[in-house]
Amino acid sequence: MKKIYATIIFALFLIYEGYSQDNVGSETKRSIITNGIGLGSVIAGVTSWERNKSVLLAIIHGVFSWLYVIYFVLTRKENERK
């Protein structure tokens, strides 16, 4: 049942990103690009490393950033809850 919820949330994020309007200026885009990795990427990379012990998966999950963080929270195992 949790996988269904995770799939629905993931689909909603994709729909939101696909149909959202692009109203930011070039200065905002330049600022976002030059600031480097964000907090979501760091959290996703660390949680992925703790669960999988794989550099490749940590990089991939870091790219997906907050989507993986939400997925991780929804699918936590009993021993990961502290």
Q: What is the mean pLDDT of each run of 10 residues along the chain (82 residues)?
A: 72 60 57 63 88 89 88 84 71
**Cα separation, 65 vs 57, whole angstroms:** 12
Q: Residue for token digits 């993931």?
A: 10
**Cα separation, 71 vs 45, whole angstroms:** 13
**Cα separation, 73 vs 71, whole angstroms:** 5
pTM strictly above 0.75: no
For 5, 26, 40, 46, 77, the CA distances from 58, given in Å and listed in that order, are: 23, 30, 12, 7, 18
